[in-house]
Amino acid sequence: MNGGLLKVTCTVVVSTVIGWILYIGRPVLVPIAFGVIVTYVVYGIANLFQRIPYIGSKLSVGMRCSIAIALMVVAIFVSIDLLISDRDRLLALAPRYQATLLALVGKIAAVLQAQTEPTWESIRRDILDKVNIQSIVTATLASLSGLIVTVCVVALYTAFLLVEHGRFRRRLARIADNPAAMHVVAVVNEINAKIGMYLALKALLGVIVGLLSWVCMRMVGLELAELWAILIAILNFVPYIGSAVSVALPTLIAALQFGQWDEVLLVFALLSVLNFVVGNLVDPYLMGESLNLSPFVILVSVAVWSSIWGVAGAFLAVPITVGLVIGFSSFESTRPISILLTNKD
């Protein structure tokens, strides 16, 4: 067999086996992966604190990490508390949203002059009347307890990873006695630096986008604006798709709340402009060429990791892909793969 064909065959087989292991092991691997990501965020935010003029250089690494951990704990606590406190209110609003949905359907039917068509009545009776928003909201909130358990597990993994981080770096330093080991240590350090900075900046952008979105939604009078703002901040970690959902979901809620096009179009316009400015101006300015990933590769990575790990894979896709590209570029045999994945000509 040709040597090149053999390598390709082995690569496909190994990739398939790894993908299968990742898929069946997702209940265990996903919390661990999120624990690693949160650890990166902590150290990335700590490094950002070091850049604060005058006081940043005076803060020790331990102090910066402690402040970062405290901020993350407060943010997670506030988010969970808001989800729990808004649960009853969201359930109470669900019947009104249901009625508004059917009223909007009636208005659209009247515009289309299809109100008296038997086919339209059949669709409305058999499909739209079965869209029970309250049951959808109830099912969504029922998963809240599972989400809280997952957050606790991730927090546990993160705590152990933070404790082990210093020891791991010391072990790497001890084994870096030969050129091969030193090269591996350099690769690990580069992956840590790039992923940590990317996630820290993404977290900062998420907070900014969430706050600005909250201001926009409050201006229009959208209900539960704080809840949607937190969701928008979290969705900021998902490239492209997250921005689309961040605009579509509040627009849908505005339609269900107001039942009028003026407020709906205003919410859509404000959030669209905000996401466009952040996604096309602020984000590239802060990130620069640090990721060096092709937009197509980012979309494919989101699709692939989402198929393996579901929604969690969409959040983890870019950091994992960045780590893989750095690893591929560091070794001669896999460097062609990294060239195909990067954004440079």
Residue from 97, 102, 104 nearest 128 by CA? 102
Asked if the structure places residue 154 within a domain, the reply is: yes
Least confident span in 179-188, 267-276, 316-325, 335-344: 179-188
- Quick check: 110 and 56 in contact, CB under 8 A? no
- Residue 288 confidence (pLDDT) above 60: no
For residues 171 and 248, what is the distance between their CA atoms, to the nearest angstrom?
Answer: 48
CB atoms inside a 10 Å sphere around CB 276 = 12
Q: Which amino acid is at 86?
A: D
- Quick check: 154 and 146 in contact, CB under 8 A? no
Question: Which residues form the domain of 118?
Answer: 93-142
- Residue 180 confidence (pLDDT) above 80: no
Give pLDDT, residue 87: 66
Asked if the structure places residue 127 within a domain, the reply is: yes
Asked if the structure places residue 10 within a domain, the reply is: yes
Question: What's the rounded mean pLDDT across residues 283-294?
Answer: 66
- Quick check: 232 and 213 in contact, CB under 8 A? yes
- Quick check: 259 and 223 in contact, CB under 8 A? no
Query: How much is the mean pLDDT over the chain?
Result: 76
Asked if the structure places residue 27 within a domain, the reply is: yes
For residues 54 and 51, what is the distance between their CA atoms, to the nearest angstrom?
Answer: 9
- Residue 133 confidence (pLDDT) above 70: no
Give pLDDT, residue 35: 87
Residue 342 main-chain phi, psi, to 5 deg: -80, 170
Q: Which residue has the higher pLDDT, 122 or 276?
A: 276
Asked if the structure places residue 318 within a domain, the reply is: no
User: Over pLDDT 70: what percentage of the chain?
Assistant: 70
Q: Are residues 18 and 138 in the same domain?
A: no
Q: Give the number of residues written for the chain.
A: 345
Q: What is the count of structural domains for the chain?
A: 2
Q: Are residues 12 and 63 in the same domain?
A: yes
Q: Among 122, 152, 175, identify where a domain stops.
A: 175
Residue 9 to residues 144, 265, 267, 294, 332, Cα–Cα distance (Å): 44, 53, 51, 26, 19
Q: Are residues 76 and 161 in the same domain?
A: yes
Residue from 273, 327, 298, 297 nearest 202 by CA? 298
Asked if the structure places residue 272 within a domain, the reply is: no
- Quick check: 83 and 227 in contact, CB under 8 A? yes
Give the model confidence (pLDDT) of 212-227 as tens digits.
Answer: 999 999 988 888 888 8
Give the model confidence (pLDDT) of 95-121 as tens digits.
Answer: 676 667 666 666 666 666 554 544 445
Give pLDDT, residue 118: 44
Residue 264 to residues 222, 245, 257, 269, Cα–Cα distance (Å): 10, 15, 9, 9
CA 180 to chain centre: 35
Burial class (CB in 10 A: 0-12, 13-18, 19+), 280: exposed
Sign of CA dihedral 272, 238, 210, 100: positive
Q: Are residues 75 and 171 in the same domain?
A: yes
Q: Which residue has the higher pLDDT, 141 or 260?
A: 260
Give the model confidence (pLDDT) of 232-257 as tens digits.
Answer: 888 888 888 888 888 998 998 888 88
Question: What's the rounded mean pLDDT across residues 36-54?
Answer: 82
For residue 69 the two structure tokens come to 């951990």
Q: Among 175, 194, 228, identify where a domain stops.
A: 175
Q: Among 134, 154, 175, identify where a domain stops.
A: 175
86 — pLDDT class (breaks 50, 70, 90): low
Q: Are residues 135 and 151 in the same domain?
A: no
Residue from 80, 45, 84, 81 nearest 65 by CA? 45
Residue from 246, 327, 342, 287 nearest 44 by CA? 287
- Quick check: 259 and 173 in contact, CB under 8 A? no
Residue entry with tokens 């591929």: 328
For residues 92 and 105, what is the distance between their CA atoms, to the nearest angstrom?
Answer: 22
CB atoms inside a 10 Å sphere around CB 325 = 24
Asked if the structure places residue 199 within a domain, the reply is: no
Least confident span in 145-149, 259-263, 294-298, 299-303: 145-149
Q: Are residues 60 and 99 in the same domain?
A: no
Q: Are residues 72 and 167 in the same domain?
A: yes
Q: Are residues 32 and 73 in the same domain?
A: yes
Q: Are residues 42 and 154 in the same domain?
A: yes
For residues 154 and 37, what is the distance between their CA atoms, to the nearest angstrom?
Answer: 10
Q: Are residues 171 and 73 in the same domain?
A: yes
Asked if the structure places residue 301 within a domain, the reply is: no
Question: What's the rounded mean pLDDT across residues 29-40?
Answer: 86
269 — pLDDT class (breaks 50, 70, 90): very high
Burial class (CB in 10 A: 0-12, 13-18, 19+), 101: middle
Q: Are residues 125 and 4 in the same domain?
A: no
Q: Are residues 2 and 26 in the same domain?
A: yes
Q: Which amino acid is at 243?
A: S
Q: Where are the alpha helices (DSSP H) in the chain?
A: 3-24, 26-50, 61-85, 87-111, 118-126, 133-142, 144-175, 179-220, 225-235, 241-258, 261-277, 283-287, 295-309, 311-329, 335-341
